[in-house]
């Protein structure tokens, strides 16, 4: 993939499917480019008009000049031909935005057309945006290369959308609040240029300070991770992900033809790279507005100024439940100055309640005191339209204060009485929110981004000594043997050999088949008997486990019972273990993201509380130790109510070894460990049960 | 408390503190009443103007005519005098709305003034709204008895607010969307008339179809429960509760002087009576708009029509994760008709995607088909402002459809291009939301209300046979004995006597003090040794428990260790129990709500997952069985992954007996049981540990 610089900053554009007829897509595109004020060269291409219209070309090949970008607006079936013409033109044309629909989203025929397009792109090294997209907008270049109209000004945030329709709505909204944008890129079916390519491009785009993504799927998990690794949080990325469950994914596949992905892994990737996740459209808008108008706060200690007690309480409630936010304790000096200014009955504690009869002058006086001493703290000004409060004049006061208080948010509550003031605030780059809670929600997410960035840099935890292993023929033998028997699950003693090499502490067990096995004479009680059957994934559910067997007569009964329940031929004896803390631990290979590792609460409550975290390798000890904190059970791991804590380094080491095992043995598709039993009395943890699956 | 009918529907109003001077509170009140068009009689009262202004009265006593309501707008210190004058006037005046501030919210002096006001109310049986309130609005009577201006039309929803400022903002907002209201009541400090009185009044007010409450505290839990029991869900009640955590409660106490309450109990009361809880101001507004414009849906099977794939997916995501909502499976007939109407590439699966180039006519055709066959299903129409879509004309189409489809919601996304259309929809009583997710969130909460109503009526579960107990002198002796020793916690054998009477299955244990106690010779191993010390609430945390003691030498060691750790003099021996499922169970007396009972997950994870439910008595077996379903651990109780279920009736019976015990023994302030160990193999559950506290 070549750099996308010239695609998004073209000096010359050809429009294939150009038309003098109003309402035709090619005509709308050309009109929008002209109206937006772009200064480059346009080449209309349409064989139908080439004869009678002097400026029209019959094909891309006839232009004979450097064309930075081709906008393609012809029927889907003709698109490949146009690409070929461009690719073989002289000079060669490399950048295309295919606006046309009728591809993957339109069924079998369209899918075929889209594959052709991808093949041509690969053969000729073309950058293709779309197909089935809106195009893009580069406000700084005054270039609107889409079929939607509007008056777009430059700004700090780039919008990248997999839904053209949503981009249209967002554009209309940003225009209405007077916010500019650095780029708007509709990626459509993203057959060639996908979200990862665009992130790579925007990472280096100096006009873009933040990226807002609407995504329905991740084209390639691996490429996405690479792009985000390179970006490494230098610019905040806001993402709204659609298709979070089966119903949403069904809706996606019916309108784009994409396949469902594992949402929990996508979520883990978002978290790993510290993306700011919006839960719905209004929150997405709030975050875009915040990043457009306000700088990233350097503190979560907030000051609230309000003329309304109730909304001040709701703000306090939100702050009270947030881990990122707190109410700034006001210095005595500030409180004293506020007391001099404000009438009796006001509260000079934070939230500062300047009362229902607050005039614009009272807002002004309060904000002047705050800007004198506490300008660096984020400040939220709340207003309700009481009779003595003139919202428009209070807005003017706030606009002046913004010059001194860089993180100043507002929430003017009401309807008609505040609508003009709300727009006036936004026009002067103050983020105004529908409610105090929404202002604080946006602030909280942006602070989480900020604080996690520094968190990522902290060094904690040691790696276990690297095991330098050469590929051993013994492993290959085990895999080959199993596959020859058409087994995709290993027997216990096979898994044991592999685990031992990676020092994963599997409980020493005895495998046997029949009751007359001589080793049974040496069994120590109490013990556990289990089926060891490669067809049985969940021994417990199939009644293939008996615990706490105390003598040989019980053992025989257990053997016969399990044999009856499971029809198994292979069994496993384990010493009964002292109770400890049960964890689940596992790995699998995701079709998009590759290797992922999971750890969490095991035992009875594993599926009830689903308290687990997913790691996307490569994972470092410090990342493991940081992510373990996301578990609800973390207090137990750390030591809780007088109980000793567990050895977190031991947990991290096992995860790192699973990572190494999985990396070095691509034949293994999945490992399920449950439980990994750990202790807080110095004893070492042990894997009591494990399933190893082959691809 | 007399009925509030004449307070909120007065035919004559006196204004104490009336003034001819513009800007004075008394003047604003009179002006607002006149402007609003009220047809009743106004009596201005102010000694200052009585001499020179013909219509002014020097005091309430001089009016000598029937006065239904007095609005009081004079300094706080003078209010009591005005109340007394009214109470002793002839004819007597009973209804007052005290607008004046300077009471409880203003500190010690104000608190005293407010107590005076309450005393006078009690002595003379007065209804007093406020003090420190906005007043109220009765739009049907054309009466604006507040100091905020506006043009209010009659509607279905009553707003009741403990924050005057929030009420002002909500009024401005309802006016801007053209929504009417049945009443707006600002309850202020609610010294006399509180939320429960107002609910009682609105329950019988035929103009009010739904109630929207903003509350910062519950004046009296008992009274609140009584009011809601009487209302019994006949009208939906939406509530936004401020002060949900310490920070919010601190903000409340600084602006109203109220004390913090136990939020988990308030939450339990809201749930018990099926209140619709809004989490923030925009959601509160969405619910008010929904209840104002749209009838309560009778089905959660939704149809989505959209010209934008992305927002359609976000809608599907929301529906996919909701327990109340689903996407209606469209009948083949409907799909076929849609296919005839819609262009290729459209989706006739629900969400119905009518594509980005949808015209108003395409919306119209689609909605006509839906209204012909599926008019009874809730329908959500989504629009983004694409070039071919005229939002204003689509709004007209929807307004027509609303006549046939009673539950029709819309979400027009964008800014300038859709703002006129959004207002046009609301003016014609179509609820339009900022996003599809918000439309669905409102619908979900209202459906939860509707579905829980019918749920409440279902009969399940049997009561245990009522224990008819007479107050026994033995219990009184136990309580007296403990209190004489200044013990507020019972010893185990004291608790045992009381539990036995109520058939609460406490594990048979042996209490002893010294190692030479002869009963120790009879101890069976394995056993458990515990401290039984009324000063130790958490035996485990204080290292006062040793489990699984297998012989007398271990027993002696354990005894000495516990004695050293706890300095205790009393001990308890229990037989070691087979592992089972550990529950916590308890009761306490809340200062506002009285007796509450709690049950949930016990054991190690009790405090980690806090998986519990709170019951507000009187609780019936069916209510217990229904609420147990709210526990995350419910699948385990029901039987899970091949394991047998537990006896839910056994759990319900213990809760009912705790309820009876607590009702008949008001001396007991709190009971903490952890664990109540239950089994799924037929064995009966047992209480292994219990603390009983006296008031």
Nearest Cβ partner for A175 among B252, B320, B416? B416
pLDDT one-digit tens code per residue, A151-186 = 899 999 999 999 999 999 999 999 999 999 999 999
In sequence order, what E strands does B298-423 have?
Answer: 301-306, 326-327, 352-353, 379-383, 408-412
> Inter-chain contact B353–A254, Cβ cutoff 8 Å?
yes
pLDDT in tens, A56-111: 999 999 999 999 999 999 999 999 999 999 999 999 999 999 999 999 988 899 99
Local structure of residue A21 (DSSP, 8 states):
S
Contact of B166 with chain A, judged by CB distance below 8 Å, is answered with: yes
Span A566-570, average pLDDT? 92
Q: Which two tokens stand for residue A165?
A: 């329709």
Residue B314 CB neighbour total at 10 angstroms = 33
In degrees, to the nearest 5, what angle opens at C-alpha B689 toward C-alphas B683 and B693?
A: 135
Residue holding tokens 């490669």?
Answer: A534
Q: How far apart are CA A289 and CA A426, in angstroms?
A: 9
Most A CBs within 10 Å, among B35, B415, B440, to test the A interface:
B415
Q: Minimal Cα–Cα distance from B164 to chain A, Å?
A: 8
Is B610 in the A-facing interface, judged by CB distances under 8 Å? no
Residue A674, SS3?
Answer: strand
CB-based contact B317 A176, cutoff 8 Å: no
H or E, element range at B59: none
Burial class (CB in 10 A: 0-12, 13-18, 19+), B642: exposed
Residues paired with residue B687 on neighbouring β-strands, in sequence order: B506, B676
Q: Is the pLDDT of residue B446 over 50?
A: yes
Interface size A-B, in CB pairs within 8 Å, comes to 287
Confidence of residue A459 (pLDDT cuts 50, 70, 90): very low
Confidence of residue A379 (pLDDT cuts 50, 70, 90): very high
Confidence tier at A1 by pLDDT (50, 70, 90): low
Q: Are B165 and A309 an interchain contact pair (Cβ–Cβ within 8 Å)?
A: yes
* pLDDT score of B468: 67
Confidence tier at B113 by pLDDT (50, 70, 90): very high
The whole-angstrom separation of Cα A413 and Cα B281 is 9
Per-residue pLDDT reduced to its tens digit, A477-532:
999 999 999 999 999 999 999 999 999 999 999 999 999 999 998 999 999 999 99
Looking at residue B476, its pLDDT comes to 87
Cα(B44)–Cα(B31) distance, integer angstroms:
12
Whether residue B473 has pLDDT greater than 80: no
> Helices A436-457 and A309-321 sit at what angle, rounded to 10 degrees?
20
Residue A136 phi/psi, 5° resolution?
A: -150, 165
What is the mean predicted confidence (pLDDT) over B190-204? 97
Closest-CA residue of chain A to B433: A282
Residue B309 confidence (pLDDT) above 50:
yes
Helix ranges, B101-192 (H): 108-124, 164-176
Q: Using a pLDDT cut of 70, give the percent of chain A over it.
A: 97
Contacts with A657 (C-beta within 8 Å, 6 or more apart), sequence order: A464, A467, A502, A503, A504
pLDDT of residue B232: 86
Hey, what long-range contacts does A609-614 have (CB within 8 A, 24 or more apart)?
A609/B605, A609/B609, A609/B611, A609/B632, A611/B609, A612/A584, A613/A268, A614/A264, A614/A265, A614/A267, A614/A268
Query: Is residue B208 over pLDDT 50?
Result: yes
The token pair at A550 is 């105390």
Name the percent of chain A lying above pLDDT 90.
86
Enumerate the H helices of B158-219 as residue ranges: 164-176, 195-203
Chain A interface mutation, best of B25, B151, B169, highest count of A Cβ atoms under 10 Å: B169
The B residues from 442 to 501 touching A (CB cutoff 8 Å) are none
Residues in A closer than 8 angstroms to B310, CB to CB, are: 161-163, 165-166, 214, 216, 242
Residue partners of B8: CB distance under 8 A and separation at least 6 = B136, B138, B183, B185, B201, B205
Instruction: pLDDT band for B1, please (50, 70, 90 cuts).
Output: low
pLDDT of residue B459: 47
pLDDT exceeds 90 at position B310:
yes
Interface test mutation site (partner A, options B316, B550, B610, max chain A beta carbons within 10 A): B316
Name A332's Cβ contacts closer than 8 Å, sequence gap at least 6. none
Cα gap B672→B668, rounded to integer Å: 11
Nearest-angstrom CA–CA distance, B438 and B279: 12
Alpha helices in B342-415 (DSSP H): 360-373, 391-402
Residue listed under structure tokens 């809780």:
A640
How many Å apart are CA A446 and CA A325, to the nearest integer? 11
- Give the DSSP H/E element, type plus range, for residue B474: helix B473-484
A526: preceding bond cis by omega (within 30 degrees): yes
Cβ within 8 Å of residue A655, ≥6 positions away:
A585, A597, A599, A615, A619, A624
Angle value at C-alpha B294, between B293 and B299, nearest 5 degrees: 170
Cβ contacts of residue B415 below 8 Å, gap of 6+? A172, A173, A174, A175, A176, A177
Residue B205 scores a pLDDT above 90: yes
pLDDT of residue B173: 97
> pTM (2 decimals)?
0.93
Compute the nearest-CA separation of B343 from chain A (Å): 12
Q: Mean pLDDT over all residues of chain B?
A: 93
> Residue A3 has what pLDDT?
83
- Percent pLDDT > 70 in chain B is 97
Read off the pLDDT band of A468 (50, 70, 90).
low
Cβ-nearest to B166 among A105, A255, A308: A308
Q: Which of A49-53, A186-190, A410-414 shows the lowest mean pLDDT across its residues?
A: A49-53
How deeply is A21 buried, as exposed, middle or buried, from its count of CB atoms within 10 A (0-12, 13-18, 19+)? exposed
- The two structure tokens encoding residue A81: 């031909």
Above 50 in pLDDT, residue A289?
Answer: yes
Report CB contact under 8 Å: B244, A321: yes
CA distance B477 to chain A (A): 36
Name the least confident of A499-508, A594-603, B252-261, B536-545: B252-261
Q: Is the pLDDT of residue A470 over 70?
A: no
Residues of chain A positioned with their CB less than 8 A from the CB of B255: 309, 312-313, 347, 353
Across B627-650, average pLDDT: 92
Q: Pick the residue of B309, B420, B576, B674 with the most A CBs within 10 A to test the interface with A by mutation.
A: B309
Q: Give the residue on A whose Cα is nearest the Cα of B358.
A: A165
- Are the beta carbons of B415 and A149 separated by less than 8 Å? no
Nearest to A671 by CA among A596, A620, A609: A596
Q: Which of A172, A243, A437 sits opposite B416 (nearest CB)?
A: A172
Please state, rounded to an integer, the average pLDDT across all residues of chain A: 93
Distance from CA of A46 to the nearest CA of B (A): 23
Q: How sure is the predictor about B107, in pLDDT bands with cuts at 50, 70 and 90?
A: confident
């Amino acid at each position: 993939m070549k750099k996308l610089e010239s695609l998004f900053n073209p000096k010359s554009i050809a429009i294939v499917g150009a038309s003098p007829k109003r309402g035709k897509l090619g005509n709308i595109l050309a009109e929008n480019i002209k109206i937006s004020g772009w200064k480059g060269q346009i080449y209309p291409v349409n064989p139908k008009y080439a004869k009678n219209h002097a400026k029209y070309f019959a094909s891309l090949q006839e232009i004979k000049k450097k064309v930075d970008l081709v906008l393609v607006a012809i029927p889907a079936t003709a698109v490949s031909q146009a690409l070929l013409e461009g690719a073989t033109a002289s000079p060669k044309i490399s950048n295309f935005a295919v606006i046309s629909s009728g591809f993957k989203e339109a069924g079998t025929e369209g899918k075929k057309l889209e594959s052709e397009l991808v093949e041509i792109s690969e053969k000729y090294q073309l950058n293709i945006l779309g197909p089935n997209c809106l195009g893009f907008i580069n406000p700084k270049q005054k270039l609107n290369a889409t079929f939607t109209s509007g008056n777009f000004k430059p700004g700090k945030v780039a919008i990248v959308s997999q839904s053209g329709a949503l981009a249209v709505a967002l554009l209309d909204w940003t225009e209405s609040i007077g916010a500019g944008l650095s780029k708007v890129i509709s990626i459509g079916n993203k057959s060639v240029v996908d979200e990862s390519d665009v992130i790579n491009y925007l990472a280096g785009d100096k006009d873009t300070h933040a990226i807002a993504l609407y995504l329905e799927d991740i084209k390639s998990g691996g490429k996405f991770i690479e792009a985000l690794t390179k970006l490494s949080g230098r610019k905040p990325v806001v993402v709204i992900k659609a298709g979070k469950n089966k119903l949403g994914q069904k809706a996606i596949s019916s309108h784009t033809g994409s396949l469902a992905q594992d949402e929990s892994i996508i979520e883990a990737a978002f978290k790993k790279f510290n993306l700011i996740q919006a839960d719905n459209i209004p929150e997405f808008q709030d975050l875009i507005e915040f990043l457009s108008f306000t700088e990233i706060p350097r503190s979560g200690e907030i000051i609230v100024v309000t003329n309304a007690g109730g909304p001040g309480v709701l703000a306090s409630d939100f702050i009270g439940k947030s881990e990122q936010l707190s109410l700034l304790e006001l210095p005595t000096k500030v409180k004293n100055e506020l007391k001099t200014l404000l009438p009796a009955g006001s509260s000079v504690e934070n939230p500062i309640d300047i009362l229902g009869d607050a005039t614009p002058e009272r807002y002004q006086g309060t904000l002047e005191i705050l800007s004198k001493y506490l300008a660096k703290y984020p400040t939220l000004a709340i207003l309700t339209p009481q009779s003595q409060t003139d919202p428009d004049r209070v807005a003017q006061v706030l606009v002046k204060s913004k010059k001194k208080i860089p993180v100043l948010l507002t929430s003017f509550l009401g309807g008609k009485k505040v609508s003009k003031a709300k727009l006036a605030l936004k026009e002067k780059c103050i983020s105004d929110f529908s409610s105090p809670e929404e202002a604080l929600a946006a602030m909280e997410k942006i602070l989480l981004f900020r604080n996690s960035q520094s968190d990522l840099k902290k060094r904690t935890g040691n790696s276990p000594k690297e095991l330098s292993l050469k590929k051993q023929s013994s492993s290959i033998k085990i895999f080959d043997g199993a596959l020859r028997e058409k087994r995709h699950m290993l027997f216990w003693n096979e898994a044991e050999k592999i685990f031992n090499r990676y020092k994963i502490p599997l409980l020493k067990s005895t495998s046997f088949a029949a009751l007359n096995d001589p080793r049974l004479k040496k069994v120590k009680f109490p013990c556990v008997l289990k089926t060891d059957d490669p067809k049985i994934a969940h021994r417990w559910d199939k009644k293939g486990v008996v615990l706490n067997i105390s003598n040989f007569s019980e053992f025989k009964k257990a053997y016969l019972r399990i044999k009856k329940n499971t029809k198994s031929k292979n069994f496993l004896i384990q010493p009964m273990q002292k109770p400890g803390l049960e964890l689940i631990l596992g790995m699998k290979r995701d079709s998009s993201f590759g290797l992922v590792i999971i750890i969490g609460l095991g035992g009875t409550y594993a599926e009830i509380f689903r308290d687990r975290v997913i790691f996307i390798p490569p994972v470092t000890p410090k990342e493991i130790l940081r992510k373990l904190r996301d578990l609800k059970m973390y207090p137990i791991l750390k030591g809780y109510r007088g109980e000793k804590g567990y050895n977190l380094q031991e947990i991290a080491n096992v995860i790192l070894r699973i990572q190494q095992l999985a990396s070095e043995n691509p034949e293994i598709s999945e490992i399920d460990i449950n439980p990994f039993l750990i202790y807080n009395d110095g004893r070492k943890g042990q894997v009591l049960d494990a399933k190893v699956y082959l691809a």
